[in-house]
Amino acid sequence: MHRFAFLLAFWPAPLLADAPRVITDIAPIHSLAALVMGDLGTADLLLPPGADAHDFALRPSDAERLGDADLVIWVGPELTPWLADPIATLAPQATQLPLTASANWTPLTTHDGEIDPHGWLDPMIASGWVSDIATALAAADSENKAVYMANADKTVTMLTALNDDIQSRLRGLDQSGFIVPHDAYSYFESMNDLEHTASIADAHAHAPGPGHLSEMRDLVVSNDIVCVFSDAEIGARWVDVVIEGTDARTSVLNGTGAGFDAGPDLYEAMLRQMADAFAQCLGD
């Protein structure tokens, strides 16, 4: 490489304006924000990929990172009620974008009648949230508005294709009974015309009681349950108890990006992996 070309390759590109300092809650939302920000900046991420959003303790360094933010993009208090106070007290300077408050989606309700916050697991809901993210970024950084809007358009095209791919992959899957680890997958199920028979834990992933576990076990033994999924929030131990000595299969659902590098590619890879998990566990 010529010395001049070498210099050009490593010379930082001049920025028109500083992109806002963005912090996000979970890895899939971080991935969507990264797609919209493109080369303009890098969003920060509070919970590493695969972390349990329902049960997480902020470290002092996380508090510092919140204090640096101009824009906090998070699913909302329905997913992480423990995060509402820290955002208000540690990031009073920041604009908040709680995605559950978006006008661009229709929430489902949990078995307890609350808003089910796990909406990012449907690419078309993610698509609506991408519009909200682009609008918030453009409001914070109007000079780069056209770039955010163009990146959002590209992302919506990707998400629409992803949605179609997953639907055609899972179409016609045997609608036998299956059990989900916690009540988090209704958006993904609903886009694919699937419906779980039961859930080991509730939408907040609270540990199941012994009575509920034995009900789950009775269901597997006496009904046509072909698959009992586990996930990072519940882990395999409850699932092992439920399926022990039966023919039920098991597979891992990963809704928070466990095992993937945080960044723009995480969202699509995670959703394709989830489609694989359903196809393998419910397929012939």
Token output for 19: 């992109």
Distance of closest approach, residue 247 Cβ to Zn ion, in angstroms: 28
Torsion sign over Cα 29, 271, 79, 117? positive
Distance of closest approach, residue 273 Cβ to Zn ion, in angstroms: 17
Compute the distance between CA of residue 118 and CA of residue 176 in angstroms, rounded to an integer: 23
Q: Which is nearer to Zn ion, 27 or 37 (CB)?
A: 27
Compute the distance between CA of residue 163 and CA of residue 153 in angstroms, rounded to an integer: 15
Q: Which is nearer to Zn ion, 255 or 264 (CB)?
A: 255
Nearest residue to Zn ion, by Cβ distance, number only: 184
Binders of Zn ion among residues 23 to 42 (CB under 5 A) are: none
Q: Which is nearer to Zn ion, 134 or 184 (CB)?
A: 184
Taking contact as CB under 5 A, which single stretch among the options 119-127, 178-186, 246-254, 272-280 is the one that binds Zn ion?
178-186
Q: Which is nearer to Zn ion, 184 or 274 (CB)?
A: 184
- Chain-centre distance of CA 97, in angstroms? 15
Q: Is 271 an interacting residue with respect to Zn ion (CB under 5 A)? A: no
Compute the distance between CA of residue 62 and CA of residue 48 in angstroms, rounded to an integer: 11
- DSSP symbol at 8: H
Binders of Zn ion among residues 200 to 229 (CB under 5 A) are: none
Q: Which is nearer to Zn ion, 140 or 184 (CB)?
A: 184
Compute the distance between CA of residue 158 and CA of residue 162 in angstroms, rounded to an integer: 6
Compute the distance between CA of residue 133 and CA of residue 156 in angstroms, rounded to an integer: 12
Distance of closest approach, residue 242 Cβ to Zn ion, in angstroms: 18
Q: Is 184 an interacting residue with respect to Zn ion (CB under 5 A)? A: yes
Q: Which helix (H) or strand (E) holds 188?
A: helix 186-191
Which residues contribute to the site for Zn ion (CB under 5 A)?
184
